């Protein structure tokens, strides 16, 4: 076990006004199973880049272990899994790889197939197995569940739970609860390190947020009351001062000494009220800095006169000699919200590609309503580079509407000016 220390870390992307990190310091142990959590774009993947020395930063990262990146950079996916193992771990022993594959319930024959022919879930498991054969490093694992089915997530969660230490980015709460014992939370204005799983961290976060909201409301009322008291005090002080400098009242000459003493006392009280008010304002300013807010997002699907919108009958598809889809039939009607559910390699992506007309290797019947507009979001966004404005114009959509929706999706305005290659996957 050793300690990894981050001291006064600062980093910002070129052209990005607000720093991603500004003088942050924290530490963690290499035998901790850590979930790195935070909203999209807050800096989780960027932190990985800094730990891996892929970006220039200010501050210190002190460690005596080598960081290992998941997923690793693979240039030739036509190679087999066993070839990639020898490439990534040159001195690796094959029996160690097969040991890890067994723990992940992976058929060892898959490592002899071309890597690109495997499902994304199978690729994920094989890469994890390869990297965990190294016992001298500390894994930085970025979103391993993206391509895993429910059963696969459970297996990988149990697998990670058996490991000695790692830093894991994931938005899957159940997955995190199953395998971590510490949380590093990147908040809007701070970084927290806590013992426990995601649920314990989240419960603590809710209690802290509620405490700050209640305290903020109390301070708001106190500040309002103190302002009014200070105003009244100033009015009384002015009246007393006018009396001191005024004429005789009912033929009696004012006692300037008494009035001066009373005026000084009132001014002192006014100053005390001002100090209390400033202290309350300062305390209030330190609250709510890490509370996340969200706006409601309303979607307005286009209406189509025809129903059903999509009708599929007896759809079958093969990959080589392997049948991927078998006699699939369904309808999608106006207003339907449909999930395609199935294990890795069961044909979910194949079905989408067939509906889009990108895959013609099938039998059966597909009917789409005439002039039906289908929007498609692919799993892989690595081709997104350059200016967001240029991309919006290329897609021929309303720039103002698009950016309004992005803001509701918690997209900061600074991101509008960033190169999209520096965006997180989220």
User: Is the model's pLDDT at 336 over the cut of 70?
Assistant: yes
pLDDT higher at 372 or 18:
372
- My answer on whether 44 and 193 are in the same domain is yes
Percent pLDDT > 70 in the chain is 84
> Is there a domain that residue 157 lies in?
yes
Whether 321 is in a domain gets the answer yes
pLDDT of residue 313 exceeding 80: yes
Query: Has residue 211 been placed in a domain?
Result: yes
Are 143 and 215 in the same domain?
no
Q: CA 188, CA 289: separation in Å to the nearest integer?
A: 7
Do 315 and 269 belong to one domain?
no
Q: Which domain holds residue 340?
A: 310-368
Same-domain status, 99 and 234: no
Edge-to-edge strand ranges of the sheet holding 3-11: 21-29, 3-11, 58-62
Q: What integer pLDDT is reported at residue 226 of this predicted model?
A: 67
Confidence class for position 274, pLDDT limits 50, 70, 90:
low
Asked whether residue 181 falls in the same domain as residue 130, the answer is: yes
Is the distance from CB of 260 to CB of 244 less than 8 angstroms?
yes
- Name the pairing type of β-strands 21-29 and 3-11: antiparallel
Show the CA angle centred on residue 113, arms to residues 81 and 148, nearest 5°.
70
Residue 263's pLDDT band (cuts 50, 70, 90): low
The domain that holds 56 is classified in CATH as 3.40.50.300
Q: Choose the final residue of a domain: 331, 348, 368.
A: 368
**82 and 155 share one domain:** yes
The pLDDT of residue 343 is 80
Judged against a pLDDT cut of 80, whether residue 342 lies above it is answered with yes
Using pLDDT thresholds of 50, 70 and 90, give the confidence band for residue 257.
low
Say how many domains are in the chain.
3
Distance of alpha carbon 23 from alpha carbon 59, whole angstroms: 8
For residues 162 and 235, state if they share a domain: no
Q: Say if residue 255 is in the same domain as residue 323.
A: no
Q: Per the domain annotation, does 38 fall within a domain?
A: yes
pTM: 0.74
Which range scores top for mean pLDDT: 154-158, 341-345, 399-403, 419-423?
Answer: 154-158
- What pLDDT is stored for residue 246 in this prediction? 56
71 and 189 part of one domain:
yes
- Which of 239, 270, 285 marks a domain boundary? 285
339 and 193 co-located in one domain: no
- Are 213 and 92 found together in one domain? no
- Is a pLDDT exceeding 70 seen at residue 244? no
| Residue 254 binned pLDDT confidence (cut-offs 50, 70, 90) | low
Residue 390 DSSP one-character state: H
230 contacts: CB under 8 Å, gap ≥ 6:
270, 273, 274, 277
* 381 in any annotated domain: no
Find, among 27, 36, 37, 29, the residue nearest to 6 by Cα.
27
Q: Which of 252, 285, 318 represents a domain boundary (last residue)?
A: 285
Pairing of strands 137-142, 166-169: parallel
Give the H or E element holding residue 156: helix 150-161
Mean pLDDT value across residues 289-293? 62
User: Cα(231)–Cα(251) distance, rounded to whole angstroms?
Assistant: 31
Q: For the CA atoms of 26, 31, 37, 43, what is the dihedral angle to 10 degrees?
A: 50
25 and 151 together in one domain: yes
Are 303 and 335 contacting, i.e. CB atoms less than 8 angstroms apart? no
pLDDT of 83 over the 80 cut = yes
- Whether 29 is covered by a domain: the verdict is yes
Q: Model confidence at 298, in pLDDT bands (50, 70, 90)?
A: confident
Distance between CA 19 and CA 17 in Å, rounded?
6
Which is more confidently placed, 277 or 327?
Answer: 327
């Amino acid at each position: 076990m050793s300690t990894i220390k981050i001291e006064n870390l600062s980093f910002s992307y070129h052209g990005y006004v607000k720093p991603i990190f500004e003088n942050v310091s924290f530490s963690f142990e290499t035998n901790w199973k850590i979930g790195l959590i935070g909203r999209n774009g807050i800096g989780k993947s960027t932190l990985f880049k800094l730990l891996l020395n892929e970006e220039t930063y200010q501050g210190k990262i002190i460690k005596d272990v080598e960081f290992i990146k998941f997923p690793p950079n693979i240039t030739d996916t036509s190679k087999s899994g066993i070839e990639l193992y020898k490439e990534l771990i040159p001195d690796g022993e094959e029996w160690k790889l097969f040991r890890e594959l067994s723990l992940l319930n992976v058929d060892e024959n898959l490592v002899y197939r071309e890597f690109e022919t495997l499902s994304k879930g199978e690729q994920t498991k094989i890469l994890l197995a390869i990297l965990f054969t190294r016992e001298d490093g500390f894994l930085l694992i970025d979103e391993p569940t993206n391509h895993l089915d429910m059963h696969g997530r459970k297996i990988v969660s149990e697998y990670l739970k058996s490991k000695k230490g790692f830093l894991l980015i994931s938005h899957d709460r159940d997955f995190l609860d199953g395998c971590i014992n510490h949380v590093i939370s990147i908040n809007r204005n701070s970084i927290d390190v806590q013992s426990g799983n995601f649920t314990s961290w989240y419960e603590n976060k809710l209690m802290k947020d509620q405490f700050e909201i209640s305290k903020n409301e109390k301070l708001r009322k106190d500040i309002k009351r103190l302002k009014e008291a200070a105003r009244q005090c100033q009015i009384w002080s002015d009246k007393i001062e006018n009396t001191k400098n005024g004429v005789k009242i009912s033929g009696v000459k004012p006692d300037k000494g008494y009035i001066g003493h009373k005026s000084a006392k009132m001014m002192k009280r006014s100053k005390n009220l001002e100090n209390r008010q400033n202290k309350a304002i300062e305390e209030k300013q330190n609250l709510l800095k890490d509370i996340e807010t969200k706006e409601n997002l309303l979607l307005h699907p286009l209406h189509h006169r025809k129903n059903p919108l999509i009708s599929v009958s007896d759809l079958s598809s093969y990959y080589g000699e392997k049948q991927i889809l078998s006699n699939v039939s369904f309808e999608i009607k106006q207003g339907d919200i449909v999930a395609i559910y199935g294990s890795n390699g069961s044909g979910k992506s194949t079905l989408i590609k067939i509906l889009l007309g990108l895959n013609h290797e099938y039998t059966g019947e597909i009917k789409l309503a005439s002039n039906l507009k289908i929007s498609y979001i692919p799993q892989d966004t690595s081709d997104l580079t350059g200016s967001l404005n240029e991309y919006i114009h290329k897609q021929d959509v309303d720039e103002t509407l698009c950016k309004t929706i992005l803001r509701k999706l918690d997209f900061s305005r600074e991101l509008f000016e960033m190169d999209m290659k520096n965006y997180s996957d989220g």
